[in-house]
Chains A and B, each alone.
Chain A
Amino acid sequence: MSAVLARLEDVRKAFPHVTRRSDRIRALWRLLAGRPPADPAVVLDGITLEVRRGESLGIVGENGAGKSTLLKVLTGVLAPTSGQVELAGSVAALLELGAGFHPEFTGRENVEMAGALMGYRPGELRAQMDSIVAFADIGRYIDEPVKHYSSGMVVRLGFALVAARRPDLLITDEVLAVGDEAFQRKCVRWIEEYLAGGGTLMLVSHSMYHVQKLCRRAVWIQHGRIEAIGDVYEVTQRYLAAQETRIAADSAAAGQRGAAGLEFETRLLTVNGIGGGNAVAIDADGTIEVEAVVRSQGGRVPVLGVGIVRGDGTPVYGVTSEMDGAAPRREGADGFRFVLRFAQLALLPGTYTVRAHAMDPEALRLFDTVEQPFTVRGRTRELGLVRLPHAWDAGS
């Protein structure tokens, strides 16, 4: 077992509520008296983590789960409310590349200053200046004020500075999301070499591709707590599965919000005569018939929007009766019945949902969302959502 580089033990971070001015004064008195601020908002709770030399740990989680706060606590930018943070060895954090740069100074001056912040000795950095300029690929711009740089150049110079230092532990937060494709590849290649050379990495990213490519372990942070930790594939797959379920649940909840009293309201939605969320299955290349009744309070003729989405919410197709100039059949005083047929549906096997939306006659406002799932059966090895018409040239 190699040495532990970073250790977090039962770390908790809570931010004080400061909305009014008096809150700040009250917090000041409490802090001066040596007490913690009152009723804080907990951002991290019970985080215990260890990163050993040579490890690569990915950190995944939704926005606001506490990932960035975790990195800030780890690097010492934020003090934890309670718990222990221990670091052994040099740490470089790419929290925001080029964060300490001053726009009026030249790239060279800024590199020297940023170096001082990172703990370089003055001479140490000068020796590496050439390789930094080469890595950042900014040429003569190094002697221009940073305010004349493009944002990509600032990021490149920031990364070059870290690359030159080769820290024991590299901490990055979404930095791979910036810069152009070529530079991203360069960064990824550098990180891979750095890891191969025994470097240690902590990477926060929403890109599961990057996390899986660069990390062997992953931790999933949810609402400030560790939800899962372990093998990168296991954790990222669990995370992605939870994401899909949550998105699906959200849209279902939105569907049920068809409250009474709306000017236009979808009363009924069936697919092939089956509604109420019951199972509908068709074969590939089959036909679906979408039927919907919209109630219009004022008796004006409404518009119906129909969309087909995949099980995870990816939109496939959408159309409205207004686009096609289709008129509904009137039913009673305020009902309007729409029937829409999709023949020879080109969808590939999988689960899909039909969404119907009641809209005003101008087709501008959307009043509600009603859903009815259906399944396309079949066996095929084709990939994607739909079968596009295609033909191969026959070989001789």
Chain B
Amino acid sequence: MPQASQRWLHLLRHFVARDLKQRYLGSLWGGAWALLQPLLTLAIYAVVFVEVLRVRLPEAAGAGFVPFFAAGLWPWTAFAESINRAMGAIPENAGLLGKVALPSSVLVVAPISTGFLIHGLGFVGVMALLSLLGQGVALAGLLAAAPMFALLYLLAVGLGLLLAALQVFVRDLAQVVAQLLALLFFLTPIVYAREMVPPRFAQVLGWNPLTAFIEGMRAPLLGTPSPSWWLPLVASALALLLGIAVFRRLSRHFEDFL
């Protein structure tokens, strides 16, 4: 392995360790919160959708509302949180970048990696729990869902690099993206099944690449129909290529604009 990429990986490990330590040791609740927050979201939605609105999932959804929602919620949380934190990475570490020569891409990829690590573990934990409770979750499906989770990670890395680089120049991009992500949550079949959507809107959902990611992870766990893999593959590859290209071009000039 060339020395530069070895140093990059070494630094990545270092910053992920630092990030984990910071989030878990910084405050008593910091770390627990990262695990609790999706659990709490799950509980709230379960009460509102199942008890208040009495939503009924179609047969094709494969399981009850809780496992159905959980299978999409953890990957989504990993994705959304990672993007949000990646966008703050460069300004947050401006002081460090001004003093120490290090590849700034590490600072962006580190919080994404931490997010996927924490919520990936949370995902496994919740699925194991639901399977124990007899909620119709096939635990072996986690193995089949893992490659899709990895693809989602690559998509987040690509988008994170792209947005983090643009954010240095366009300061309010972070707020805009945070709003768009909140919107995207409802444009992705996480809290509902695609089958519940009227046909004319269902097609729109198909254009959202995240739909394929979420459904692809849900399929092996709940036995729902499996979407094709080409969309996630192409989306991740494109995001990664674009993200790296833009970041390469702009990162040389970060220090001038921070």
Residues of A within 8 A of B (CB): 15-16, 18, 21, 24-25, 27-28, 31-32, 34, 37, 72, 75-79, 93, 95-96, 99-100, 102, 104-105, 109, 113, 116-117, 119, 121
| Cβ–Cβ contact B22 & A75, under 8 A | no
Assembled-state Cα–Cα distance A77/B103 (Å): 10
Residues of B226-258 contacting chain A, CB below 8 A: 246, 249-250, 252-253, 255-257
- Give me 22 A-to-B residue pairs in the complex whose CB atoms sit less than 8 angstroms apart, sorted by A's number: A24-B171, A25-B170, A27-B169, A27-B253, A28-B166, A28-B169, A28-B250, A31-B253, A32-B246, A34-B249, A37-B256, A72-B98, A77-B98, A78-B255, A79-B253, A99-B96, A100-B99, A109-B21, A113-B18, A116-B11, A117-B11, A117-B14
Closest to A98 in B: B99
Assembled-state Cα–Cα distance A109/B25 (Å): 13
| Cβ–Cβ contact A100 & B246, under 8 A | no
Question: Using Cβ atoms and an 8 Å threshold, which residues of chain B touch A27?
Answer: 169, 253, 257
Residues of B65-111 contacting chain A, CB below 8 A: 95-102
State how many angstroms separate the Cβ of A346 from the closest Cβ of chain B.
50
| Cβ–Cβ contact B99 & A79, under 8 A | no
Partner of A79, one of B10, B252, B257: B252
State how many angstroms separate the Cβ of B28 from the closest Cβ of chain A.
13
**Is B26's CB within 8 Å of the partner chain A?**
yes
State how many angstroms separate the Cβ of B116 from the closest Cβ of chain A.
21
Closest to B97 in A: A77
Assembled-state Cα–Cα distance A149/B99 (Å): 20
| Cβ–Cβ contact B169 & A77, under 8 A | no
Question: Using Cβ atoms and an 8 Å threshold, which residues of chain B touch A77?
Answer: 97-101, 255
Assembled-state Cα–Cα distance A105/B26 (Å): 9
| Cβ–Cβ contact A102 & B22, under 8 A | yes
Question: Using Cβ atoms and an 8 Å threshold, which residues of chain A touch B97?
Answer: 77
Assembled-state Cα–Cα distance A27/B250 (Å): 10
State how many angstroms separate the Cβ of A389 from the closest Cβ of chain B.
53
Question: Using Cβ atoms and an 8 Å threshold, which residues of chain A touch B22?
Answer: 102, 104
Partner of A18, one of B10, B98, B99, B257: B257
Contacts A25-B169, A104-B26: A117 and B102 contacting too (C-beta < 8 A)?
yes
Question: Using Cβ atoms and an 8 Å threshold, which residues of chain A touch B56?
Answer: none
State how many angstroms separate the Cβ of B114 from the closest Cβ of chain A.
15
Partner of A100, one of B10, B25, B100, B249: B100
Assembled-state Cα–Cα distance A16/B169 (Å): 12
Pairs A-B, 10 closest by C-beta atoms: A76-B101, A99-B99, A28-B169, A116-B14, A79-B252, A24-B169, A77-B101, A95-B99, A78-B255, A75-B101
Question: Using Cβ atoms and an 8 Å threshold, which residues of chain A touch B101?
Answer: 75-77, 93
State how many angstroms separate the Cβ of B165 from the closest Cβ of chain A.
9
Contacts A16-B256, A24-B170, A77-B97: A31 and B14 contacting too (C-beta < 8 A)?
no
Assembled-state Cα–Cα distance A113/B110 (Å): 14
Closest to A34 in B: B249
Assembled-state Cα–Cα distance A270/B92 (Å): 61
Assembled-state Cα–Cα distance A32/B257 (Å): 14
Assembled-state Cα–Cα distance A116/B96 (Å): 13
| Cβ–Cβ contact A96 & B99, under 8 A | yes
| Cβ–Cβ contact A105 & B255, under 8 A | no
Question: Using Cβ atoms and an 8 Å threshold, which residues of chain A touch B14?
Answer: 113, 116-117
| Cβ–Cβ contact B100 & A99, under 8 A | yes
Question: Using Cβ atoms and an 8 Å threshold, which residues of chain B touch A24?
Answer: 169-171, 257
Contacts A16-B256, A99-B96: A32 and B250 contacting too (C-beta < 8 A)?
yes
Interface string of B18-60 (1 = CB under 8 A from A): 1001100110000000000000000000000000000000000
Partner of B96, one of A72, A93, A100: A100
| Cβ–Cβ contact B100 & A117, under 8 A | yes
| Cβ–Cβ contact A119 & B256, under 8 A | no
Closest to B96 in A: A100
Question: Using Cβ atoms and an 8 Å threshold, which residues of chain A touch B21?
Answer: 105, 109
| Cβ–Cβ contact A28 & B99, under 8 A | no
Question: Using Cβ atoms and an 8 Å threshold, which residues of chain B touch A113?
Answer: 14, 18
Assembled-state Cα–Cα distance A79/B252 (Å): 6
Question: Using Cβ atoms and an 8 Å threshold, which residues of chain A touch B7?
Answer: 119
Assembled-state Cα–Cα distance A323/B101 (Å): 57
Assembled-state Cα–Cα distance A302/B113 (Å): 73
Assembled-state Cα–Cα distance A28/B251 (Å): 11
Partner of A102, one of B11, B18, B99: B18
Assembled-state Cα–Cα distance A113/B22 (Å): 13
Assembled-state Cα–Cα distance A10/B169 (Å): 28
State how many angstroms separate the Cβ of A295 from the closest Cβ of chain B.
52
Partner of A16, one of B11, B166, B171, B257: B257
State how many angstroms separate the Cβ of A223 from the closest Cβ of chain B.
19
Q: A31-B249, A100-B100, A116-B11 are in contact. List 12 more A-B contacts (CB 8 A).
A: A25-B170, A27-B169, A28-B170, A28-B250, A77-B97, A77-B101, A78-B256, A79-B252, A79-B255, A99-B95, A99-B96, A100-B99
Residues of B97-152 contacting chain A, CB below 8 A: 97-102
- Among B21, B96, B257, the most chain A Cβ lie within 10 Å of the Cβ of B257
Assembled-state Cα–Cα distance A73/B98 (Å): 11
Question: Using Cβ atoms and an 8 Å threshold, which residues of chain A touch B10?
Answer: 116, 121
Assembled-state Cα–Cα distance A207/B99 (Å): 22
Question: Using Cβ atoms and an 8 Å threshold, which residues of chain A touch B96?
Answer: 99-100
| Cβ–Cβ contact B255 & A31, under 8 A | no
Assembled-state Cα–Cα distance A105/B97 (Å): 19
Assembled-state Cα–Cα distance A33/B135 (Å): 54
Assembled-state Cα–Cα distance A105/B166 (Å): 31
Question: Using Cβ atoms and an 8 Å threshold, which residues of chain A touch B99?
Answer: 77, 93, 95-96, 99-100
Closest to A15 in B: B256
Closest to B25 in A: A104
